[in-house]
Structure 1
Amino acid sequence: MTRIQKPAAPSDRPGAHPHPIGISAAMATPFNADLSIDTGLLAAHAARLLDEGCSSLTLFGTTGEGPSIATAERAAANRR
């Protein structure tokens, strides 16, 4: 699984939590008719979730599709 996070806001409080805290959305992976990842829809949906307030996203495996996606295809989708 791949997790995307917004950068944490700096904090001047001693002992502040070092990681973002908030909503983490588990995304289903959108596929094209040929079973390749629909990277355009994936990127648009990820952007929308982050814009709406999610602090992180979990990709490629939240609904069991992870083992069927090649590492190279995951990497290419993450670059998008």
Structure 2
Amino acid sequence: MGILLGVEGMMKTAVYAQQLRSLIYNSDATMRILAAARSCSLPNWLVGAGLVRNLVWDHLHEYEQPTPARDVDVAFFDADDLTPERD
């Protein structure tokens, strides 16, 4: 992957990643959502991209008020329990 991006591409990727981390850490609402997801103690979990998309969109368009999260998708994978009930 690094060879395809080149040094300049990797540097841009690192800058974008840092900017995204900053947006997330500076959003109280996003941090509360992530804390709630973490409190479920799910293995290998992630939040859906809509949460991040709204955060980035609001920043790029300089919205004064963040777009409220109407719902947040949380997905997880538990290799130790693949039963339909756990799904």
Normalising by the smaller structure, the TM-score range is under 0.3
Which one has a larger percent helix, Structure 1 or Structure 2? 2
Considering only CA atoms, is the larger Rg found in Structure 1 or Structure 2?
2
TM-score by length of 1: 0.26
